[in-house]
Structure 1
Amino acid sequence: MTNTLQSEKHKSLRTTIFLVIAAIILNSVFSFANAILHIPLFLDTVFTVAITFYCGLIPGIIVAIIFNPLMTLVWCIINNTDFYIYDCLYAICGILIVVVTWALSRNKNEFYFNRTVTILYLLIISFTSAFASCVSATILDTFIRPFFERTLGLSMIDNLSVSFQKLKFSVFLSYLLPRIPITVLDRIICTFSGFGIYRLLVREKKTC
């Protein structure tokens, strides 16, 4: 009995590690596709959300922590630029998205009460994580960024913020206002897509 339990734990751990690695790789693929297609969204947390739904808080945070610095490094290599530590700090936004997603979906009895309730929960997760992401990223850009001499500057928000500053908006609002519609739409797409992938994983597990 003990050996069986240990075997199941090892199998579960191996599955979790595999899914974490897969989530990081697939997030990267989505990020590259987004850059190539010039879609005005981020779309790089779909699998972060999926892994959080399926595996829980810690695996989701691991994906969020690793993904952002990894993509910063990759973009620096592609653009032949220096590695900028500041751009890694956006991992904080990913971590907050994971925490919000996990916290609002952990009560499975309420979350799956019926389809309408599930959709409402997903919308709440989308808007709450959008708020957390918007505010944290704006705080970083407004108050932390000035301490760094240079950044990679690949964010679509950078160009939009310049336009708002020319209109005499404060630095904080110049980063916040253009970020709101982009982030809200991004969070809705990523949350619902991530949940769909989670449901596929659950269905696949049941058939195994």
Structure 2
Amino acid sequence: MSYGTSFNYETILICLVAEVLNLLTTFIFYQVLKIPLFFDTIFIVAVVFYLGFVPAICVSIGYSLINSFMWICKTGFFDPFIPMYGLCGILIVFSTWLFAKNKSDFRISVSITLLYLFLIALTSSMCSIISGGLIDYFHYKYYEVTDMMNPIKNFSEGFIIQHYPPIVSYILAQIPVSFLDRLIATFTGFGIYRSFDFFMKRR
């Protein structure tokens, strides 16, 4: 069972570019346009399809570390829960790779490809919902979290107002945001992979 491409200059360059584009995408859609979705795994998904498990894990962990550093620069203090969200990224990479490693299955037909992408979105969103909800529970319990730091804050507060247990509220609040985010990231990431793969084959 292969876990990814051996590291060479091209692989490292692609990972670095994916990291920069991931940060740029998050900044534009989340910080500038204020869209309440994460948009932080589109290019990670593309790397999973193009390079495999290990390079994608490196990009995911790299994003988590950079995001934690940027948070320290912005606020002036270290929030230990920020890097913990990197676990969501790792689980997303793994659940995506479980399907993406069999690339030949995606060439059978368009309908099979769409089915696989939907299954990836569903599986990765379940991982993100549970892990993100549990992290949110402890994060909100011990730290004051700003509204724009996490797009599901308002959803979780809505469930708490309706007297749902806090831990259940944080998990349920993840469902609409995480599923839509995973759906967009999975299909967009696959589209980027196919476009880049087509371009590289024509070189």
TM-score computed with the length of structure 2 as normaliser: 0.89
Distance 1:26 1:108 in 2: 24
Q: Please state if 1:112 is matched with 2:102.
A: no
Residue 84 of structure 1 aligns to a residue in which SS? coil
Q: Which amino acid aligns with 2:94?
A: V
1:145 is matched with 139
Structure 1 position 56 matched with structure 2 position 52: yes
Of 49, 59, 62, which aligns to 1:66?
Answer: 62
Q: Distance in 1 between matches of 2:100 and 2:67?
A: 28
CA distance in 1, matches of 2:112, 2:55: 26
Which AA in structure 2 matches 1:170? P
Once residues 13 and 201 of structure 1 are traced to their aligned partners in structure 2, the CA distance between those partners, rounded to angstroms, is: 18
Give the number of aligned pairs: 196
Structure having the higher helix fraction is 1
Alpha-carbon displacement from aligned partner over 1:148-168 (angstroms, at most 9, x marks no partner): 843654112223322321211
Matched position secondary structure for 2:124:
helix
Give 1:74 deviation, angstroms.
1.2
1:97 and 1:168 map into 2 onto residues whose CA distance is 30
- Structure 2 counterparts to residues 91-102 of structure 1, below 5 A: 91-102=86-97
Please tell me whether the aligned partners of residues 84 and 151 of structure 1 are also in contact (alpha carbons under 8 angstroms).
no
Which residue in 2 is equivalent to 1:26? 21
Cα distance in 2 for residues equivalent to 1:72 and 1:151: 16
Deviates more, 1:116-125 or 1:102-111: 102-111
Identity score, percent: 35
> What does the per-residue CA deviation read over 1:12-65, in whole Å, with 9 as the maximum and x for residues that have no partner?
611110111111111111111121101011111000000110000000111111
Q: What does residue 6 of structure 1 align with?
A: none
Whole-angstrom distance in 2 between the partners of 1:184 and 1:69? 24
TM-score relative to the length of structure 1: 0.87
* 1:1-208 equivalences in 2 (<5 Å): 13-33=8-28, 34-78=30-74, 80-142=75-137, 144-145=138-139, 149-150=142-143, 153=146, 154-208=149-203
Residue type matched to 1:127 in 2? L
Pick which of 102-111 and 42-51 moved more: 102-111
Higher mean C-alpha deviation, range 129-138 or range 103-112: 103-112
Higher mean C-alpha deviation, range 101-110 or range 89-98: 101-110
- CA-based RMSD: 1.9
Name the aligned partner's letter for residue 157 of structure 1.
I
How far apart, in 2, do the equivalents of 1:152 and 1:182 lie? 17
Greater Cα radius of gyration, structure 1 or 2: 1
Distance 1:194 1:200 in 2: 10
Amino acid at match of 1:68: S
What is the rounded CA distance, in whole Å, between the counterparts of 1:69 and 1:172 in structure 2?
Answer: 26
